Amino acid sequence: MTDGSTGGAAGGAADAGQAAAAGPGVESVLGYEQARDELIEVVRSLEAGGTTLEESLALWERGEELAKVCRHWLEGARARLDAALAEESGES
């Protein structure tokens, strides 16, 4: 895998701008698919059990952070679709 701090920037200026708008942290590094996949793993780990309370809390917090990233990307995608549909209907 590539280092997210350098490899992720090549994904495109629009993606980087959307991610940065959510604030500092993982949002500026993770794309939607990366966050979703990691969130799935966090949920699986929590469901499997066998972790200490501290580990479970850390997993929960990470899951909340990843869910926020996913919501951000989905809200951005929805806004772009709405804008494109509004533009399309305005041109007809």
pLDDT (tens digit per residue) in 19-77: 434 444 555 689 999 999 999 999 999 999 999 999 999 999 999 999 999 999 999 99
Q: What is the number of helices (H) and of strands (E) in the chain? A: 4, 0
The model's pTM is 0.65
Helix axes 53-91, 13-21, angle to 10 degrees: 120
- Other CB atoms within 10 A of residue 75 CB: 12
Contact of 46 with 60, CB cutoff 8 Å: yes
